[in-house]
């Protein structure tokens, strides 16, 4: 059979997708049996800032927009895998050092930044290819939000999830308040967003946030489930969900000792992600794209309805609570990175304005 004619194809890319803090990689696509599919690829987009738990800077946000755009346009790409470097974190959200040192107290600048953030989330939701979030570690705050914009999520079971907004001077309105009610229901979304209590991969899986979870801890050459949480009992004696809840007391002590003996191995995570990519390889691409468009609508409609109002509010909040919260997280001592919430509420109740000493007085105290 004659080789197909090579035609001139116009590029619709804005860039090749690579930039500081973001890596764009094309990996050969494989069938479910493991055979190579010549000329076809899966695009892997990596957050590459592991020393700061893959938190995204302004430059990284711009690079992610361009990387997703390039992956979406690529005619030979089957799936997009969105992940982070290392085994500690997928992403912990916006870079708090940059927030504290540049954006705090500058609402006009942060408003421009939030335009980029909104475009990043929208670009993920508009990708013409299925997007898989490969959760290699913590998915917290804004990292949770960009992860939930993906179509599928597969996690290693040591990963932790959650929001951080009200604890650190913001509101989780970069996607969490839009996506979580759709994904896990209003009541659980309320608890996740307001209380900011982290939860395990097993809890996330049973809430319906994840497509699958895989073990990542290897002890004596064998994979074992996350020893820090309950994995063998579904319910407690009162009928409440026990699976995924943190262990306490002697059980926790033993779990920590087991953690010290083991090492993290993400090969099972990669296998599961590749398996998912391979399954989607054997589908009609346009039918798959249309199915994605329809299934994304509940998230997309909520996101588009709220994103501009959220952008405006978050910008103005950089003058008050966000400035205080990000400063505390960036400058506070290692074991105390939150403001004095009680003192803050007392001062507000007494009518004290934000302009003045309030910001400084509620900051965590440096050790003597």
103 DSSP 8-state letter: I
Question: From CA 94, how far away is CA 2, in angstroms rounded?
Answer: 52
Identify the pLDDT of residue 11.
63
* Mean pLDDT estimate for the chain: 94
Identify the pLDDT of residue 16.
53
8 Å CB contact between 140 and 71: no
Residue 12 has pLDDT above 70, yes or no: no
Tokens at 179, concatenated: 């996506």
Tokens at 27, concatenated: 């990996």
4 DSSP 8-state letter: P
Residue 5 has pLDDT above 90, yes or no: no
56 DSSP 8-state letter: B
328-345 pLDDT, tens digit per residue, is: 999 999 889 999 999 999
Tokens at 79, concatenated: 């799936």
Identify the pLDDT of residue 367.
84
51 DSSP 8-state letter: G
Task: Name residue, tokens 């995570």.
Answer: 269
Whether the pTM exceeds 0.75: the reply is: yes
The alpha helices in the chain, defined as continuous H runs, are 58-73, 96-98, 107-125, 142-148, 165-168, 176-184, 186-195, 201-207, 249-261, 267-281, 285-317, 321-331, 341-349, 358-361
254 DSSP 8-state letter: H
């Amino acid at each position: 059979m004659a080789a197909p004619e090579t035609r001139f194809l116009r590029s619709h890319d804005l860039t090749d997708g690579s930039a500081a803090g973001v890596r764009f990689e094309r990996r050969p696509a494989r069938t479910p049996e493991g055979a190579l599919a010549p000329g076809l690829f899966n695009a892997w987009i990596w957050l590459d800032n592991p020393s700061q738990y893959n938190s995204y800077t302004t430059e990284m946000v711009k690079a992610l927009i361009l990387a997703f755009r390039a992956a979406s346009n690529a005619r030979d790409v089957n799936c997009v895998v969105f992940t982070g470097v290392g085994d500690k974190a997928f992403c912990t959200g916006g870079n708090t050092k940059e927030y504290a040192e540049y954006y705090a107290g500058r609402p006009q600048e942060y408003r421009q930044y939030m335009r980029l953030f909104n475009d990043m989330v929208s670009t993920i939701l508009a990708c013409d290819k299925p997007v898989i979030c490969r959760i290699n570690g913590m998915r917290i705050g804004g990292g949770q939000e960009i992860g939930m914009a993906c179509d599928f999520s597969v996690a290693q079971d040591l990963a932790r999830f959650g929001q951080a907004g009200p604890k650190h001077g913001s509101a989780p309105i970069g996607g969490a308040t839009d996506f979580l009610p759709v994904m896990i229901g209003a009541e659980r979304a309320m608890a996740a967003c307001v209380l900011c209590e982290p939860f395990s991969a097993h809890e996330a899986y049973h809430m319906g946030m994840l497509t699958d979870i895989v073990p990542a801890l290897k002890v004596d050459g064998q994979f074992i489930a996350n020893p820090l949480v309950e994995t063998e009992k579904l319910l407690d004696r009162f009928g409440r969900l026990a699976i995924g809840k943190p262990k306490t007391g002697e059980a926790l002590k033993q779990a920590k000792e087991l953690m010290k003996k083991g090492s993290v191995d993400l090969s099972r995570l990669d296998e599961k992600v590749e398996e998912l990519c391979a399954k989607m390889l054997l589908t009609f691409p346009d039918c798959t794209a249309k199915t994605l468009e329809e299934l994304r609508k509940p998230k997309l409609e909520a996101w588009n309805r709220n994103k501009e109002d959220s952008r405006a509010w978050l910008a103005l909040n950089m003058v008050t609570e966000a400035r205080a919260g990000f400063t505390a997280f960036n400058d506070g001592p290692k074991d105390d990175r939150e403001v004095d919430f009680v003192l803050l509420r007392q001062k507000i109740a007494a009518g004290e304005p934000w302009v003045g000493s309030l910001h400084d007085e509620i900051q965590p105290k440096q050790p003597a």
